[in-house]
Structure 1
Amino acid sequence: MILQYIKNVYITFSDSGHQHPRVKTGSALAKAGLKKIVLKKVMSSLKSMPTLPPGTKPLDNQVAGHQNTDGKIGCLQHEDGTILKPVQVPPKGQTEVEFYEEVFGEQASTDKVLLQLRELVPKFHAIVHAPKEPNVRFMKLENLLEDMKHPCVLDIKMGRKTYDPFASKEKIAMETAKFPPAKNIGYQISGMLTYSPKSGKFQKFDKYFCKNLDEESIVYQGFGKFFSVDGVLQKEVIKAVIERLQRILEWFLKQRTFNFFASSLLVVFDGDISPSPQSPAWSSPGPGEDVVDSCCNGETDSIIENDVSDLISCNSVDSKTNRAPSTHPKVQVRMIDFAHVFHMENEDENYIFGLKHLIDDLHRLMKS
């Protein structure tokens, strides 16, 4: 576990772009200095690192969110195939716990809105505690990434406003400044992870890369990079993602129970592009060994999914493409991050605005 933790810290720090202004990147001096800084950071962090629950290790494929660094436990992979997401301090942590307990509680069995929502969010199992540290709690969530050989992961924060109704003026100013184009498009990319079959390696694009995108480049340089495998745009995958987004939009247009702020969408597809009957448009993988350069930088959550086929008929047709819905089995889209969810009886216009723009932008990418 310690070796994995050191690896995560090294990757996180080295990917952040920090270096001395007079030291050439890649030089022996730069590498030696980086290793020294990372070692000091690791030793300092391990002193206060809480004990991990048995059978867990840091999540390899995290692209945003709580990291396993600086003496803090981030999202963990459990050997039973689930994800353990740490509960944040109140009120954020308690808000998210109560959200999951409401959606997956017994009272939801007679509520159509909550029953449908269960299929759009990670499956919630229970609250668990860290050994010897009862104040450290985790939400035990489903992880369907384990069935993917080379998962490509995209975190999209939704809404023109990523601050809740009780945010201070300082918080509003800070959130607005993070990504000004969000005011016009209603979403922003927080981080992404891609895979190249030719090289056998993953590549991470962190929050610094994402913040430099604008309204046009987020489509072609952002989504274009994510949905391309060795230079080939995977239009079948994009089509499957659009269909899943439309199901989420359909739920939002009907529900008048929740408003979501600073919540994200998690998009995942398998970078192993071996041809299959369900995915004829996938190109065959190139040569190269499977050398996984995993990462854990930026800001996401657990990598989790459920099937939502019952929310929309499999015989329905995509009105914009006039084609039958994709049945690609290696594409997952789910809502995540619920620390700022409020019970409100009005339409969640903020989230809906972003969803509609996101769907339109993916259609634009499909036509390119």
Structure 2
Amino acid sequence: MADVSKSSCIRLEPFIHQVGGHSSMLCLDDATVCKPLVKRELQFYETLPEAVSKFTPHFYGVIQVNVQTEEEGYVTLTASPPKSYKPISSSPTQRVRLRRTGSIEVSQDDQTLFEEDSLDGETQPNNTSLALNPWVLKCHRDHLSTIINTATTQNFILLENVASQFTFPCILDLKMGTRQYGDADTLAKKQSKMVKVVSTTSAKLGVRVGGMQVYQVTTGRFLCRNKLYGRSLSVNGFTQALCKFLHNGERIRTDVLPPLIKRLEELLEVLHRQEAVRFYTTSLLLLYEGQDQFGLSECREVEENKTRKRSISHFKFEEAIETKHDDPAKSTSVEGNAISPSALDMESIVNAFEEERQRSERMRHRRSSSCVALNDILAGSANLSMPSSPSPLQASAPKEPTVDVRIIDFAHSTHQGLADPVSYTGPDSGFIFGLENMISILKNIERDYG
């Protein structure tokens, strides 16, 4: 690398969407990230079971990163790409500048800003808006302060930037499993990791929040939370955190739940078939597109209609049930014929349905054709008053939201192909335990808010 000309080098910038972990992630371009090389992780990527590789970032090889000091004490990181590398468009804006003293300057020119939640106070003052996730600053500062004083070059692995497919990537980093240490860790480190498991949701759920960012359509900013927030959560708090991850400031994105759950169930099926694979200390990334395909007014109307219908139906049925239980022996007669309580109950239910149907008909006729609820359009109701030329909403069904699920961070993972001194049999029950709980919680959220 020493004889490579400066013109062939690419300046590396911090990956602005890093929400967890402790390694400093860098961007080679918009579609490729660089991560400090750990021998065990490199070996895992090189020998990864094919079925599992569908749920991990694509591995592109190894690259050497150079640490250079420029005028005025600024430090830059550069790398020469592999010969097979084809450049992908990347923003020329330099977001972060580091001095040898350890101070960091962050450009505020980016339109997309990040805001750390008020419950987190370690990395930045409350309500501070930045051009990148606050956790990135901490990781980048810690990493650079180490390599500046120890080496002029460092090896990194090249990985797919799984966030590149999103315009506003909402990302949840989940520490998976009931065991958070590797076989090679020292006894002291194992004990420290076990304490974190026992004192967090990792013990009861097999999963805890390692960090998150969620795009807020109301402010145009990402709301960020780090691993300290995740460690503070109770079991109920974990569910609330998932709701927060799904809330864009306007509504809970229930539309992303079906594809996310489907992807998680596919992963679960794959992991049940894996023999001797252990994902110790790995993270599971859940991603979805924060750019809502519905306008805010349409979203609000759909949600209000859903809520109104649920509450009215609930009232009607509760009223019918209460009428029955007020006097179980009471019956009504029509032309001298007695009607049993069960028949009365069925009549009340039918009446409730009919009243709700008539009310829905009146509501539909009052709506403007341009504000018709999306679910009415998809149902193709014959009672809708259709305009002569179809509106964009009526022309096609909504596109399924873009989501993704990936496993990352394999520095302590193992499988049969690595020929480690410690071997295992059967699937990773700790990871599977956490994954099953995640699926269950997301299904409950879908049931309650969908």
TM-score normalised by the chain length of structure 1: 0.63
Post-superposition offset of 1:166: 4.2
Post-superposition offset of 1:274: 2.2
Q: Is the 8 A contact 2:175 2:284 kept in 1?
A: yes
Q: Note if 1:188 corresponds to 2:268.
A: no
Q: Work out which of the residue numbers 5, 16, 32 in structure 2 matches 1:82.
A: 32
Post-superposition offset of 1:118: 1.6
| 1:232 partner amino acid | R
Post-superposition offset of 1:245: 0.9
C-alpha distance 135-270 of structure 1, shift in aligned 2 (>3 A): same
Instruction: Please name the residue that 2:221 is paired with.
Output: 201
Post-superposition offset of 1:275: 3.2
Q: Work out which of the residue numbers 42, 45, 49 in structure 2 matches 1:97.
A: 42
| 2:263 partner amino acid | R
Q: Is the 8 A contact 1:275 1:283 kept in 2?
A: no
Q: Is the 8 A contact 1:274 1:283 kept in 2?
A: no
Instruction: Please name the residue that 2:21 is paired with.
Output: 65
Structure 2 unmatched runs, 5+ = 1-8, 68-150, 302-397, 416-423
Q: Secondary structure at the match of 1:355?
A: helix
Q: Note if 1:331 corresponds to 2:403.
A: yes
Q: Note if 1:235 corresponds to 2:315.
A: no
Instruction: Please name the residue that 2:158 is paired with.
Output: 140
Instruction: Please name the residue that 2:281 is paired with.
Output: 262
Can you list the C-alpha shifts for 1:209-230, whole angstroms capped at 9, x where unaligned?
222211111012x101001111
Post-superposition offset of 1:283: 6.7
Instruction: Please name the residue that 1:177 is paired with.
Output: 195
Structure 2: how far apart are the matches of 1:79 and 1:206? 25
Post-superposition offset of 1:141: 0.8
Q: Is the 8 A contact 2:255 2:401 kept in 1?
A: no
Q: Work out which of the residue numbers 32, 35, 59 in structure 2 matches 1:124.
A: 59
Structure 2: how far apart are the matches of 1:331 and 1:123? 17
How high is the sequence identity, in percent, across the aligned residues?
28
Post-superposition offset of 1:234: 1.1
C-alpha distance 210-96 of structure 1, shift in aligned 2 (>3 A): same
Structure 1 unmatched runs, 5+ = 1-52, 68-73, 88-92, 104-113, 285-325
Q: Secondary structure at the match of 1:128?
A: strand
| 1:95 partner amino acid | R
| 1:137 partner amino acid | N
Q: Secondary structure at the match of 1:244?
A: helix
Q: Is the 8 A contact 2:200 2:233 kept in 1?
A: no
Structure 2: how far apart are the matches of 1:282 and 1:143? 30
| 2:445 partner amino acid | L
Instruction: Please name the residue that 1:346 is paired with.
Output: 426
Q: Secondary structure at the match of 1:265?
A: strand
Structure 2: how far apart are the matches of 1:80 and 1:216? 37
Q: Is the 8 A contact 1:163 1:261 kept in 2?
A: yes
Q: Secondary structure at the match of 2:440?
A: helix
Structure 2: how far apart are the matches of 1:157 and 1:207? 9
Q: Is the 8 A contact 2:57 2:160 kept in 1?
A: yes
C-alpha distance 254-232 of structure 1, shift in aligned 2 (>3 A): same
Q: Which has the larger radius of gyration?
A: 2
Structure 2: how far apart are the matches of 1:242 and 1:228? 17
Can you list the C-alpha shifts for 1:45-66, whole angstroms capped at 9, x where unaligned?
xxxxxxxx62421011111123
Structure 2: how far apart are the matches of 1:231 and 1:160? 35
Q: Secondary structure at the match of 1:247?
A: helix
Can you list the C-alpha shifts for 1:131-153, whole angstroms capped at 9, x where unaligned?
37685111111114223221111
Structure 2: how far apart are the matches of 1:232 and 1:163? 38
Q: Is the 8 A contact 1:273 1:283 kept in 2?
A: no
| 1:246 partner amino acid | E
Instruction: Please name the residue that 2:291 is paired with.
Output: 272
Instruction: Please name the residue that 2:182 is paired with.
Output: 164
Q: Is the 8 A contact 1:156 1:190 kept in 2?
A: yes
Instruction: Please name the residue that 1:291 is paired with.
Output: none
Can you list the C-alpha shifts for 1:217-271, whole angstroms capped at 9, x where unaligned?
1012x10100111141111212211111111111111110411100110111111
Normalized per residue, the structure richer in helix is 2
